[in-house]
Structure 1
Amino acid sequence: MQLSDCRVVLTGATGGIGLALVEHLCAAGAQVLAVTRQPAALATLVARYPLQLHQVTADLRTSAGRHAVVEAARHLGGVNLLLNGAGVNRFALIEQLDDHDIADMLTVNVIATLQLTRAMLPILRSQPHALVVNVGSTYGSIGYPGYAVYCASKFALRGFSEALRRELADTEVNVLYVAPRATRTSMNSAAAMALNKALGASVDEPQRVAHEVMGAIQKDLNELYLGWPEKLFVRLNGLLPGVVDRALRKQLPVIRSFIHTHENPPQ
């Protein structure tokens, strides 16, 4: 797809990756409908791109919020790109999470995304060519201690992306699944970032992730995994999960120490 021809619904538009995506899309000439619960965070970009950047304040966990997005998309004249970027995370052992924490993570990361995609499909299918982009994670392929619920949500999103792509194979709508590795955003707590530093894990800047996503959209790819050696670990976990089991077991004391000793507020 040519970015200048894109009319985009982008959820999670005021997250770290979301803001970078908004900036890249508008700079390339796309029309962007930014979905957020924090519209003030978009003020600078709205001032910079007043003719391209539109916004709708909506809580995607609610039927009314999703309906508002669909109506705004119709008012825009239809869209040919749905970019599902909304997501929440919590670095914690599962026994540290209550029922609300678990339900909210699964609702935002999976249920609301599936429901909005379903609602948007008639609009997307009316276009000569359209694309659904689901922003997942490396943790959608590798189960990692301290992220059990987040991993569950991203594994689900990866499976949804694969199945939906096959479901729409005889239409003009494609599905791209994007799997960033650790990224420097506010969604990652201080404890999570400290753990990454202690383990020597690479952390990408949101602008780099957005740049890679733009390239994948232009190439009409099906999947995009970011980072090395993370791509290798994804393959290794699929072929030889026992090897990854043993490697992560050695990291467990370090992971637990950062969960228990660093401030780790809900995200």
Structure 2
Amino acid sequence: MSLDLRSKRILLTGAAGGIGRELAEALAAKGARLGLLGRTDASVASLDHLVATQRLDAIVIQADLTDAAARKAAVWRMVQAYGGLDVLINLAGVLDFRFFDEADASAITRALQVNVEAPMQMAREVLPAMLGRGSGRIVNVGSTFGSIGYPGFAAYSASKFALRGFSQALRRELHGTGVGVTYVAPRAVRTAFNPPAVHLMAERRLMHMDEPSWVAARIVRAIENERNEAYLGFPESLFARLNGVLPSLVDGALKKALPGLTRYARGIP
């Protein structure tokens, strides 16, 4: 099956980020009508500029996804502008790269709020209309670290494991309703989302990074193909599968990388 994105009404969270901007342009090129959601004044200004310069068929919405009223208002803006929405893309996320014994308690809370609760609550906001219509798609953008518990990313991995589990359970619940769920798991992406230490790790080949335009194109492809799951980047996509069957093999590989990871996660010169 193939989903034609022409005139589809798509609400995209995290639209001002590196992947988000590329994804907005890629979806617009397919003829989609967009609701681009940003949290801060700066992100909204950036999105307004993107819409104006690229002449996107889009509205810009400011909302803090951890706020229930803001989530409802964002969905209502789509109803006002386009009469509803056909696709929800939960892209917004936060990351804290450090070893867990040094993690800040508030950062753990925020990772769970933004990476897990917000996508679940957004899905809950849009599902009644989708179910009533008998069509729609919820797209949750996770991470390969949602399948591989990675040193230095304990809270982030936990949140993405949860998002993957939610996506799987919801997809099974919705079987036969006409509403689908797609879970996309990129590996590290070359954007400001990752702190400088992670970029240094990539330069020293402790991890691989993809360009945001490449990731955005594959998210679009996964939506068009109505994929249940899409794991991006090799060999991480293989390790994600392997970790579910033979985690001891992945343990061995990560043990070799641990000294280098420790240096960057703890900020050791």
TM-score by length of 1: 0.94
Over the matched positions of the two proteins, sequence identity in percent amounts to 46
Unaligned segments of structure 2, at least 5 residues? none
Structure 1 residue 123: deviation in Å? Answer: 2.2
Q: 1:87 — aligned with what?
A: 93
2: distance between equivalents of 1:145 and 1:116? 29
Structure 1 residue 62: deviation in Å? Answer: 0.6
2: distance between equivalents of 1:73 and 1:54? 8
Q: Which amino acid aligns with 2:26?
A: H
Q: 2:30 — aligned with what?
A: 28
Aligned residue pairs, count: 263
Aligned pair in 2 of structure 1 residues 21, 149: CA closer, same or farther (>3 Å)? same
Q: 1:104 — aligned with what?
A: 110
> Which is worse superposed, 47-56 or 246-255?
47-56
CA offsets 1:51-75 (integer angstroms, 9 cap, x no match): 6111110001011211111211221
Q: 1:45 — aligned with what?
A: 50
Q: Which amino acid aligns with 2:24?
A: V
Q: 1:3 — aligned with what?
A: 5
Q: 1:138 — aligned with what?
A: 144
Does 2:170 match 1:164?
yes
Structure 1 residue 262: deviation in Å? Answer: 6.3
2: distance between equivalents of 1:93 and 1:31? 41
Aligned with 1:176: secondary structure? strand
Structure 1 residue 201: deviation in Å? Answer: 2.9
Structure 1 residue 232: deviation in Å? Answer: 1.4
> Which is worse superposed, 213-222 or 191-200?
191-200
2: distance between equivalents of 1:148 and 1:51? 38
Structure 1 residue 203: deviation in Å? Answer: 1.0
After superposition, the CA RMSD in angstroms is 1.5
Q: 1:243 — aligned with what?
A: 249
> Which is worse superposed, 143-152 or 3-12?
3-12
Q: Which amino acid aligns with 2:181?
A: V
Structure 1 residue 49: deviation in Å? Answer: 4.9
Kindly indicate whether the alpha-carbon contact (under 8 Å) linking 1:140 and 1:151 is maintained by their aligned counterparts in 2. yes
Aligned pair in 2 of structure 1 residues 51, 186: CA closer, same or farther (>3 Å)? closer
Q: 2:69 — aligned with what?
A: 64
2: distance between equivalents of 1:262 and 1:62? 37
Q: Which amino acid aligns with 2:119?
A: T
Kindly indicate whether the alpha-carbon contact (under 8 Å) linking 2:89 and 2:140 is maintained by their aligned counterparts in 1. yes
> Which is worse superposed, 41-50 or 236-245?
41-50
2: distance between equivalents of 1:98 and 1:195? 22
Aligned pair in 2 of structure 1 residues 254, 69: CA closer, same or farther (>3 Å)? same
Q: 2:179 — aligned with what?
A: 173
Counterparts of 1:177-256 in structure 2, within 5 Å, are: 177-256=183-262
TM-score by length of 2: 0.94
Kindly indicate whether the alpha-carbon contact (under 8 Å) linking 1:26 and 1:49 is maintained by their aligned counterparts in 2. no
